[in-house]
């Protein structure tokens, strides 16, 4: 028996009989003990049956219960701790605002940064916060590409954290230039001075990388939010909430014609964000690595920074998620296994970071460069900042090693303690790199100490205040778990799935739970079966539903179905009956539905490509024109047209434009915003974003006749059938 606990694909299984060939079977990924070996080879050793899969959401959750569980957090009053927590965060934030105002009105001298340590708390905090953001993008983009579907429970929270962390970071480049009102000099805007930025400078790459990262993260987050904002709108009782979420959701109703673009847009953004997230912290590390300061000038920086960013980011996700999960009782969605897996990420990346620390130290000695070696000797053994170095080593390398132990990964309060150390350690890492390297460079004559001023401290604490204020507001106002995505990973959401009998749930062939994880998940109860009954309508559904300001002609016929499997069959039957203008409205994308309503793959990627090419062309034209012709500048002794140092901005602008084109083409192809729709008048149609499944035939269909369409939909088993006025 070689049983391994692993997060691995089991690979595409043989297609079940009767599945249309054009449906690509998505390989299923779940957190469970699986065998990586091929189980159907006719030769070689025989392997036992794979273990039963642990579902991603534990317990008998349904579409409706999930919508309610997560939306309710924003609908009901907050628990008692929320206000004190918010007030504390907000007062810390106020301190930060005071510090920034004092800095801007007085001058940069109010900080402790001074020769030779000209970068200190400001850049330490900047790099710290930028790093925090990386976990969000890793979870939302990279794990999406790798089809790690457990990400759905945590991606919204992590993405929100990304955005808030980048906001916290973005403050520093703004205020540390001293003259805040000249911050626009960082952007390549035409001006009367006829000068532009140096596009070969790592600092400008940094600006492009961070602003692109923020923009793309925001787009990604917002696109992910749209279906859930629709859910909040449709659940809203008060007029204010209806208006707010009605506007924000752009009129999303879960049409499959929209879902087919949506899914592709999401994939495109995940594809764009993946190299982007790796580039951002690499570029941040170039701020140091392209200089000549001993301790900064190393090629290991980009991978080392990226690993550290993911490490610190996961720690911050857990830091915020574990309390939120306990307070709001989300442990059936964010399960112990999610915490377990995130701890494994922390362990892996922490060890990578530890490797980088050791390698830096080794290379400093092995290179034979006396400046490099004296800096590292000073850093690790003899200098003034040895304490900081060993705080960093302990928190980042040694303490996370406890995650080799299963208990440590699966005990939330213990994880919370460990990740606090990790967050502290990651702050110290940046402090050590920046302050220690600067205070002790080439000339003993220019060695010096750094003493933070009270403004430094207040600004730093204020940043934490900003972060937690935004996080608390986010928890209060928006769904902190991607409702639509989580619905899609429920066992009942698979229209081709075969539910397991309750008494055999998660048990092996021998009737026992094969691992402790199986037993733990089974305690929550078996997953619910998809409902086979349509939820009754609060008011009787008339055969013809008039709309406000309607013109008397029918818009089309609508019918409700109990679950995705029934709707899929009904949609296929409708298309087979010769109807062309068919649409299915579902709370999440039901696999195979776009083919069932007679649609194909979205053409949205062409727009993404067009955006990418536009961005690349713009970046090439801008940099070559400005640096080689408009104001020819020699940097680093290279010729005017040397292109190598332009590459980061080529990349960033390509991604930025591709992201914008994806967003706008998604909105355009879906016909959004569409605030009014005739279907809104149907008494149960607001369930299309919660737990209802609807089929529509539009009146513009040549075959449409109100009476026959209605009769046809009733014959398919549709309930609440009605014709809606246009």
Applying CB under 8 A, which residues contact other proteins? 190-195, 233, 242-243, 246, 251, 547-549, 631, 673-677, 680-686
Q: b/e for 516-550, b at 16 or more Cβ within 10 A?
A: ebbebbbebebbbebbeebbeeeeebeeebebeee
Nearer to other proteins by C-beta: 273 or 686?
Answer: 686
What's the min distance (Å) between Cβ of 194 and other proteins?
3
Query: Which residues are CB-neighbours of 410 under 8 A, at least 6 positions away?
Result: 336, 339, 340
Q: Helices 647-669 and 256-289 sit at what angle, rounded to 10 degrees?
A: 160
CA gap 42, 40 in Å, rounded: 6
Give the count of beta carbons closer than 10 Å to the beta carbon of residue 38.
9
CB of 545 to other proteins, least distance (A): 11
Closer CB to other proteins, residue 195 or residue 417?
195
Report the b/e string of 622-658 with b at 16+ CB within 10 A.
bbbebbeeeeeeeeeeeeeeeeebbebbbbbbbbbbb
To 10 degrees, the CA torsion angle through 674, 678, 680, 681?
160
Kindly tell me which of 563 and 688 has the beta carbon lying closer to other proteins: 688
Which CB sits closer to other proteins, 544 or 631? 631
**Among residues 251 and 425, whose Cβ is nearest to other proteins?**
251
Which residue in this structure is represented by tokens 């706008």?
A: 664
For other proteins, the closer of residues 369 and 633 by Cβ is 633
* Least Cβ distance, residue 681 to other proteins (angstroms): 6
Q: What is the DSSP string of 195-253?
A: ----TT-HHHHHHHHHHHHHHHHHHHHHHHHHHHHHHHHHH--SHHHHHHHHHHTTT--
287, two tokens = 């701020």
Q: Cβ neighbours of residue 445 under 8 Å, at least 6 residues apart?
A: none
**Least distance in angstroms from the C-beta of 251 to other proteins:** 8
Nearest approach, Cβ of 673 to other proteins (angstroms)? Answer: 6
Pairing relationship of beta strands 4-6 and 582-585 according to DSSP bridges: unpaired
Choice between 241 and 580, CB closer to other proteins = 241
Q: Measured from the CB atom, is 230 or 295 closer to other proteins? A: 230
Nearest distance from C-beta of residue 195 to other proteins, angstroms: 7
Would you say 357 and 444 are in contact if contact means Cβ atoms under 8 Å apart? no
Q: In angstroms, give the least distance from the CB of 3 to other proteins.
A: 51
Q: Select 412 or 673, whichever has its Cβ closest to other proteins.
A: 673
Q: Residue 136 CB, nearest distance to other proteins (Å)?
A: 30
Q: For the CB of residue 683, give the shortest distance to other proteins in the complex, in Å.
A: 6
- Give backbone dihedrals phi and psi of 346, rounded to 5 degrees, phi first: -65, -40
Q: How far is the CB of 241 from other proteins (least distance, A)?
A: 10
Query: How far, in Å, CA of 348 to CA of 599, rounded?
Result: 43
CA neighbor of 641 nearest in space, from 657, 652, 630, 651: 630
Residues in CB range of 101: below 8 A, 6 or more apart: none
Assign 32 to helix, strand or coil.
strand
Closer Cβ to other proteins, 370 or 546, answer by number: 546
Give the DSSP per-residue string, 375-399: HHHIIIIISTTHHHHHHHHIIIIIG
């Amino acid at each position: 028996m070689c049983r391994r606990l692993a997060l691995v694909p089991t690979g595409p299984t043989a297609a079940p009989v009767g599945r249309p060939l054009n449906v690509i079977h998505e390989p299923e990924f779940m957190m469970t003990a699986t065998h990586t070996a091929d189980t159907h080879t006719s030769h070689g050793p025989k392997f036992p049956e794979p273990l039963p899969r642990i579902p991603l959401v534990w317990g008998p959750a349904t579409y409706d219960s999930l919508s309610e569980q997560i939306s309710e957090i924003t609908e009901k009053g907050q628990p008692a701790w929320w206000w004190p927590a918010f007030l504390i965060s907000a007062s810390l934030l106020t301190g930060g605002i005071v510090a920034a105002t004092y800095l801007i009105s007085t001058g940069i001298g109010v900080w402790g940064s001074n020769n030779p340590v000209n970068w200190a708390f400001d850049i330490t905090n900047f790099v710290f916060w930028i790093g925090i953001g990386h976990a969000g993008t890793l979870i939302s983009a990279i794990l999406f590409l790798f089809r790690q579907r457990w990400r759905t429970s945590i991606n919204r929270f992590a993405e929100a954290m990304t955005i808030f962390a980048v906001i916290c970071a973005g403050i520093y480049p703004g205020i540390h230039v001293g003259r805040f009102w000249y911050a626009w000099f960082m952007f390549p805007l035409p001006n009367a001075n006829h000068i532009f930025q140096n596009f070969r400078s790592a600092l400008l790459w940094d600006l492009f990388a961070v602003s692109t990262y923020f923009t793309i993260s925001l787009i990604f987050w917002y696109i992910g939010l749209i279906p859930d904002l629709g859910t909040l709108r449709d659940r809203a009782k008060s007029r204010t909430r209806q208006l707010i979420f009605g506007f924000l959701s752009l009129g999303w109703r879960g049409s499959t014609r929209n879902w087919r673009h949506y899914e592709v847009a999401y994939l495109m953004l995940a594809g764009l964000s993946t190299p982007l997230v790796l580039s951002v912290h690499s570029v941040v590390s170039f701020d140091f690595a392209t200089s000549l300061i001993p301790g900064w000038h190393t090629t290991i920086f980009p991978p080392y920074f990226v690993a550290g960013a993911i490490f610190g980011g996961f720690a911050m996700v857990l830091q915020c998620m574990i309390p939120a999960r306990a307070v709001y009782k989300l442990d059936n969605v964010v399960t112990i296994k999610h915490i377990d897996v995130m701890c494994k990420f922390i362990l892996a990346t922490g060890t990578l970071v530890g490797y980088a620390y050791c390698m830096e130290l080794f290379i400093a000695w092995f290179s034979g460069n006396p400046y490099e070696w004296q800096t590292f000797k000073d850093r690790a053994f003899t200098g003034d900042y040895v304490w900081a170095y060993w705080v960093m080593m302990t928190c980042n390398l040694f303490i996370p090693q406890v995650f080799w132990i299963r208990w440590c990964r699966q005990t939330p309060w213990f994880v919370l303690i460990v990740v606090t150390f990790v967050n502290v350690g990651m702050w110290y890492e940046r402090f050590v790199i920046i302050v220690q390297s600067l205070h002790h460079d080439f000339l003993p004559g220019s060695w010096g100490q750094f003493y933070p001023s009270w403004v430094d401290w207040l600004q730093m604490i204020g940043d934490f205040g900003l972060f937690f204020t935004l996080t608390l507001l986010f928890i209060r106002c928006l769904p902190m778990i991607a409702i639509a995505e989580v619905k899609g990973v429920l066992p009942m959401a698979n229209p081709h799935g075969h539910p397991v009998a309750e008494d055999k749930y998660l048990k092996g062939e021998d009737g026992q739970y094969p691992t402790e994880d199986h037993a733990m998940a089974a305690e929550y109860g078996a997953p619910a079966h998809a409902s086979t009954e349509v939820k009754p309508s609060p008011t009787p559904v008339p055969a013809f539903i008039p709309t406000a300001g309607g013109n008397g002609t029918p818009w089309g016929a609508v019918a409700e179905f109990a679950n995705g499997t029934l709707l899929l069959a009904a949609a296929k039957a409708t298309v087979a009956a010769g109807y062309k203008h068919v649409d299915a409205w579902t709370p999440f994308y039901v696999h195979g539905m776009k083919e069932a309503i007679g649609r194909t793959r979205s053409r949205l990627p062409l727009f993404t490509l067009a955006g990418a090419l536009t961005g690349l062309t713009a970046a090439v034209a801008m940099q070559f024109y400005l640096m080689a012709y408009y104001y020819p500048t020699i940097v680093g002794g290279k010729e005017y047209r040397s292109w190598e140092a332009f590459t980061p901005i080529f990349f960033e602008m390509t991604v930025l434009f591709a992201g914008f084109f994806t967003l706008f083409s998604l909105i355009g192809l879906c016909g959004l915003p569409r605030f009014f729709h005739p279907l809104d008048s149907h008494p149960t149609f607001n369930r299309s974003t919660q737990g209802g499944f609807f089929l529509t035939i539009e009146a513009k269909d040549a075959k449409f006749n109100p009476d026959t369409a209605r009769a046809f939909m009733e014959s398919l088993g549709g309930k609440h059938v009605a014709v809606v006025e246009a």
